[in-house]
C-alpha cells in the first residue's frame, strides 16, 4: 500500500503524476505554465484526465540560468497553496533538491517531495520526516544538480541504482519518513547515457522486487529521443512504449506530460495483466 496525502493506492494500482513546470525555460513546454493562469488550467485538465498527483517544479532540470532558493520558493509556494485549495484531495508533489524549499512547500500543503537529484541535500529527507510527507528517492549517478553526465560509466548500472535508492530509502525511513510514503526512482537520463536508461528500463523488475513502490520519469526524455532519433516534440510514441514496458515490469507511479494517453496505456496493460476489468464487455456476448 502506498499512502500519499489523503490518498491510498493498492499495490497494482497505477498512479499518474502530472508535470506542471513553474519555469520559463522548461525543455518541453518552454514556459507554457510559468504564469499562474495557464498553470492552474493545466492542473485542472490533468486532474480531470486522471492524474492523482501533481508534480510542481520551480527549476528546470538541465543547465540554464541560476535560480536561487528564494526564487524557487517564490515560484512554487503560493502555487502549492492555491492547488491545495482548488483540489483538496489531489496529491501535491514538489520537485526540489533543497531542504529550505522543501520546508516552505510542505508548510504550504505539499504531500510529497520529489528529490530527483539523489539526496544531494541530506536535509530534505529530514524535512519529509518532520512534516509526515512522502519522499521520492532517486538515482542520479552522483552528478551535481542541473549538470549533464560526461562519460559516466557503471560496472552494473542496476546494481548501482539499487545500492543508491535502497540506501536513500532506508535512511529516510530511519529518520522517520513513513515507509508507506517512500518511492524509489531509477532516474532515467540523470547521471546516465541512453544505454544506461534503456538497461534500467529493461531491468525495472529488480527494483519492484525490493518491495518499494517504483516511480519512473520517462516522459519525452533524451533517452527516448536518442533511441528513435526524434526531437522533443516527437517523442510521445516512444515514451508510451517505454511506459507500457515499465508497467508490465511493475512500476507504479508515472511522471508524465501527456496524462490522457498515459492513462490509456496503463489501463490496457493492467487489463492484460488481469488487474483491471475491461471498461465494457459486449463482444461475443450477444
Told to judge if 98 belongs to the known catalytic residues of this protein, a careful annotator would answer no
**178 in active site:** no
Residue of 4, 2, 99, 82 lying closest to 42 (CA atoms): 82
Q: Which of 60, 75, 192, 255 is catalytic?
A: 255
Contact 20, 9 (CB under 8 A): no
Q: Name the nearest CA neighbour of 216 among 184, 258, 248.
A: 184
In angstroms, rounded to a whole number, what is the distance separating the alpha carbons of residues 209 and 214? 10
Catalytic residue, from 42, 98, 221, 235: name it.
221
To the nearest 5 percent, what fractions of the chain are helix, strand and coil?
45, 15, 40
* 255: phi then psi, degrees, rounded to nearest 5: -90, 115
- Expressed in angstroms, the distance from the first to the final Cα of the chain is 39
Q: What is the largest CA-CA distance in the chain?
A: 64
Q: Which residues are catalytic?
A: 221, 255
Amino acid at each position: 500500500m502506498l499512502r500519499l496525502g489523503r490518498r491510498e493506492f493498492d499495490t497494482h494500482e497505477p498512479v499518474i503524476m502530472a508535470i506542471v513546470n513553474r519555469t520559463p525555460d522548461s525543455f518541453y513546454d518552454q514556459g507554457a505554465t510559468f504564469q499562474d493562469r495557464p498553470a492552474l488550467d493545466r492542473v485542472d485538465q490533468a486532474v480531470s484526465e486522471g492524474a492523482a498527483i501533481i508534480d510542481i517544479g520551480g527549476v528546470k532540470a538541465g543547465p540554464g540560468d541560476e535560480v536561487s532558493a528564494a526564487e524557487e520558493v517564490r515560484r512554487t509556494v503560493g502555487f502549492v497553496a492555491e492547488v491545495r485549495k482548488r483540489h483538496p484531495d489531489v496529491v501535491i508533489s514538489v520537485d526540489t533538491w533543497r531542504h529550505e524549499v522543501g520546508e516552505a512547500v510542505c508548510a504550504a500543503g505539499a504531500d510529497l517531495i520529489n528529490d530527483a537529484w539523489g539526496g544531494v541535500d541530506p536535509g530534505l529527507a529530514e524535512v519529509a520526516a518532520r512534516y509526515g510527507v512522502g519522499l521520492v528517492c532517486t538515482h542520479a549517478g552522483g552528478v551535481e544538480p542541473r549538470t549533464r553526465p560526461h562519460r559516466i560509466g557503471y560496472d552494473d548500472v542496476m546494481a548501482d541504482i539499487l545500492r543508491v535508492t535502497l540506501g536513500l530509502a532506508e535512511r529516510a525511513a530511519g529518520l522517520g519518513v513513513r515507509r508507506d510514503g517512500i518511492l524509489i526512482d531509477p532516474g532515467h537520463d540523470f547521471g546516465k547515457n541512453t544505454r544506461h536508461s534503456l538497461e534500467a528500463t529493461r531491468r525495472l523488475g529488480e527494483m519492484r522486487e525490493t518491495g518499494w513502490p517504483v516511480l519512473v520519469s520517462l516522459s519525452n526524455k533524451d533517452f527516448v529521443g536518442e533511441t528513435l532519433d526524434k526531437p522533443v516534440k516527437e517523442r510521445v510514441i516512444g515514451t508510451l512504449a517505454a511506459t507500457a514496458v515499465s508497467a508490465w515490469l511493475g512500476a507504479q507511479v508515472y511522471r508524465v506530460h501527456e496524462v490522457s494517453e498515459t492513462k490509456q496505456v496503463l489501463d490496457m496493460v493492467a487489463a492484460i495483466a488481469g488487474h483491471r476489468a475491461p471498461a465494457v464487455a459486449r463482444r461475443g456476448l450477444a
